[in-house]
């Protein structure tokens, strides 16, 4: 089995990475940066975003696993103390209760960014955002090629189900289970009065729908895909849809999404999980 480790730069994550390589070598796992089958991210959810974008061309060949060295993460759901267990399961020294590893696939958001210089495609694991550099932006939002609303406000966030617990949550969006193939469009501080009117609630679109965001000309915009900002020429519009491609995570033990939501945001512990 070929693996690679994506590490956050703090000393705890680096030490854990050294330990991982040592244990992996003892169990016959082969570190392979070019063509890994499993990519282990050690750090936080942000580290998983880095790992995802690093291997974005090989998503069909890779399953990701995340270990957190800070607080519990959504992608990084293994604890540092479970490291040896994880390497045992990965190498087959220890058998998982599941048909190991079970691969779970999460939906992604696909973006087509149409500018003067053509069309560029991106995939987001968490979300895409468009915001104004100088303040309020105005944008027309179409759903399935029909005008839906004229948006005026700070910006728009289009998230995946697994990204619904990130920026989208701060915007008051819903938590979406990653088995639902959908995208969520949430407003970032929309201006609503008698002149400007938006829906106000976030919208969840199924995988055969698309939405287009047409920002009014002559606004300086900031486009982000996960932790990355997208270089921008003269933007015409952005098309958002649920990607055909998915991201795979290796599950060596069950950790239901709702348990992660409860642990991360509510904090009740439950000895059963």
Q: Binding of ligand NAP at residue 163 (CB under 6 A)?
A: yes
Minimal distance in Å, beta carbon 25 to Mn ion?
29
Q: Which one of residues 6, 41, 126, 241 is an interface residue with ligand NAP (CB under 6 A)? A: 126
Comparing CB distances to ligand NAP, the nearer of 162 and 184 is 162
Looking at 10, 32, 45, 88, which residue is catalytic?
45
Minimal distance in Å, beta carbon 72 to ligand NAP?
8
Q: Which one of residues 19, 21, 46, 143 is an interface residue with Mn ion (CB under 5 A)? A: 46
Which range binds Mn ion by CB under 5 A, 40-48, 67-75, 91-99, 125-133? 40-48
Q: Which two tokens stand for residue 158?
A: 């289009």
Q: Which residues are registered as beta bridge partners of 122?
A: 111
Does residue 45 have an active-site annotation?
A: yes
80: number of CA atoms within 13 Å, CB side?
A: 16
Name the one residue in this structure whose structure tokens are 């990130």.
166
Q: Binding of Mn ion at residue 70 (CB under 5 A)?
A: no
Comparing CB distances to Mn ion, the nearer of 73 and 132 is 73
Which range binds ligand NAP by CB under 6 A, 18-26, 43-51, 86-94, 194-202? 43-51
Binding mask 208-237 for ligand NAP (x = CB under 6 A): ------------------xx----------
Burial class (CB in 10 A: 0-12, 13-18, 19+), 252: buried
Q: What angle do CA 18, 6, 109 make, to 5 degrees?
A: 160
Q: Binding of ligand NAP at residue 153 (CB under 6 A)?
A: no
Q: Which one of residues 4, 20, 64, 167 is an interface residue with ligand NAP (CB under 6 A)? A: 167
Name the one residue in this structure whose structure tokens are 């639902």.
180
Comparing CB distances to ligand NAP, the nearer of 53 and 197 is 53
Q: What angle do CA 177, 209, 224 make, to 5 degrees?
A: 70
Comparing CB distances to Mn ion, the nearer of 23 and 39 is 39
- Residues serving a catalytic function are 45
**Positions in the binding site for ligand NAP (CB under 6 A):** 44-46, 49, 70, 73-74, 126-127, 162-163, 165-167, 170, 226-227
Q: Which residues bind Mn ion (CB under 5 A)?
A: 44, 46
């Amino acid at each position: 089995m070929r693996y690679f480790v994506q590490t956050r730069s703090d000393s705890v994550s680096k030490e854990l990475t050294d330990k991982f390589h040592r244990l992996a070598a003892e169990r016959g796992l082969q570190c392979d940066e070019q063509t890994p089958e499993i990519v282990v991210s050690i750090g936080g959810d942000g580290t998983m975003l880095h790992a995802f974008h690093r291997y974005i061309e090989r998503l069909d060949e890779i399953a990701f696993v995340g270990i957190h060295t800070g607080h519990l993460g959504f992608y990084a759901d293994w604890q540092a103390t479970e490291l040896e267990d994880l390497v045992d399961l990965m190498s087959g020294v220890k058998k998982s209760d599941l048909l190991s590893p079970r691969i779970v696939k999460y939906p992604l958001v696909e973006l087509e960014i149409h500018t003067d210089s053509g069309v560029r495609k991106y995939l987001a694991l968490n979300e895409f955002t468009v915001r104004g550099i100088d303040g309020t932006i105005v944008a027309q939002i179409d759903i399935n090629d029909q005008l839906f609303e004229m948006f005026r406000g700070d910006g728009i966030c289009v998230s995946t189900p697994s990204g619904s617990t990130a920026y989208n949550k701060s915007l008051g969006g819903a938590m979406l289970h990653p088995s639902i193939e959908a995208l969520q469009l949430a407003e970032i501080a929309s201006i609503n009065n008698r002149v400007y009117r938006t829906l106000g609630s976030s919208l969840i679109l199924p995988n055969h729908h698309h939405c287009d965001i047409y920002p009014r000309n002559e606004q300086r915009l900031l486009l982000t895909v996960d932790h990355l900002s997208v270089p921008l020429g003269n933007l015409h519009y952005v098309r958002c849809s649920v990607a055909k491609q998915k991201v795979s995570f290796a599950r060596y033990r069950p950790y239901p999404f709702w348990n992660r939501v409860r642990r991360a945001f509510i904090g009740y512990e439950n000895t059963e999980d």
